[in-house]
Amino acid sequence: MRRWMIAGIVGTLVLIGMTGAWAATATPDFERMLPHMKEMHPEMGDAEMRAMFEACHADGGHGMMVGMMHRKGN
């Protein structure tokens, strides 16, 4: 019983580690995201979408909300 519990904990930790490693390397590029962005924001032009994408992915993803929620004119 104890072995199964330890195996389950170790397996969970390995799975979490693999997911984190994948997420760190799976940064999408603008061209790949463009169809989805056009579906979600049909009123925006390509230049606006590129600016939003770059704002969201600046600094390794730490720029998320900067530029979207704090744009001038809102």
Is 70 part of any domain? no
10: its two tokens: 């170790």
Task: Name the residue range of residue 18's domain.
Answer: 2-61
How many domains, the chain?
1
Give the Cα separation of 17 and 11 in Å (integer). 10
Residue pLDDT, tens place only, 9-68: 998 988 887 776 666 565 677 888 889 889 999 999 999 999 988 887 776 555 554 444
For 16, phi then psi, to 5°, come to -65, -40
Is 43 part of any domain? yes
Is 72 part of any domain? no
pLDDT of residue 74: 45
**Direct distance between the N- and C-terminal alpha carbons of the chain, in angstroms, rounded to an integer:** 59
Degrees, nearest 5: CA angle 51-57-58:
85
pLDDT of residue 26: 58
pLDDT of residue 52: 86
